[in-house]
């Protein structure tokens, strides 16, 4: 829900500000992190969104975005990014979609200079939730080495 996104954004901004990493428009980007990626997509940023907003963009179908932005957002979300999926037990088919996307990105990791990684988080996470025909080959590694470099698989 949008309310949760707005609350999470406020917490992210406050956290970055507390450690002195929050980028402000009056300052340069060097060694700073923004929370709005649309104006400066080539800079470090925390991007917060709902699964329908972000997964649709990762599938090149940007929900609520103009068609002209679809390829741009698709490219930006598929490279040099860490996706953190929180409360995955609530994601329904979005969980399977995110796992399939990560599998396809892992398969193409050797072609990418800056791969994308996914972390799935839940207090009750079961590795079987990520199991499908597409992900089965990578599931053991995701479970035993959750932060390992995907390029070494």
How many other CB atoms sit within 10 Å of the CB of residue 116? 20
Q: Please state, in angstroms and rounded to a whole number, the distance separating the CA atoms of residues 115 and 144.
A: 20
Q: Please state, in angstroms and rounded to a whole number, the distance separating the CA atoms of residues 139 and 137.
A: 6
pLDDT at 148: 56
- pLDDT tens profile 97-146: 999 999 988 888 777 678 888 999 988 988 889 999 999 988 888 877 76
Cα 86–chain centre separation: 10
Residue 137 lies in a domain: yes
Residue 47 lies in a domain: no
Residue 129 lies in a domain: yes
Structure tokens at 69: 């932005």
Domain that holds residue 125: 81-153
- pLDDT tens profile 61-89: 999 999 999 999 998 898 888 999 999 99
Residue 101 lies in a domain: yes
Residue 117 lies in a domain: yes
Residue 37 lies in a domain: no
Domain count, the chain: 1
pLDDT at 147: 59
Answer whether residue 55 shows pLDDT above 90. Answer: yes
Residue 17 lies in a domain: no
Residue 5 lies in a domain: no
Structure tokens at 44: 């470090």
Backbone angles phi, psi at 22, to 5 degrees: -70, 125
């Amino acid at each position: 829900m949008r309310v949760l996104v707005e609350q999470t954004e406020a917490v992210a901004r406050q956290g970055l500000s507390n450690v002195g990493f929050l980028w402000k428009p009056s300052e340069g980007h060097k060694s700073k992190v923004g929370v709005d990626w649309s104006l400066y997509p080539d800079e470090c940023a925390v991007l917060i969104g709902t699964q329908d907003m972000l997964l649709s963009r990762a599938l090149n179908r940007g929900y609520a975005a103009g068609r002209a932005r679809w390829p741009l957002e698709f490219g930006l979300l598929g490279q040099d990014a860490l996706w953190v999926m929180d409360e995955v037990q609530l994601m329904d088919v979005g969980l399977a979609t995110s796992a399939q996307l990560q599998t396809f990105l892992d398969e193409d990791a050797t072609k990418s200079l800056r791969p994308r990684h996914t972390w799935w988080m839940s207090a009750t996470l079961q590795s079987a939730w990520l199991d499908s025909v597409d992900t089965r080959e990578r599931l053991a590694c995701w479970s035993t080495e959750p932060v390992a470099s995907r390029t070494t698989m």
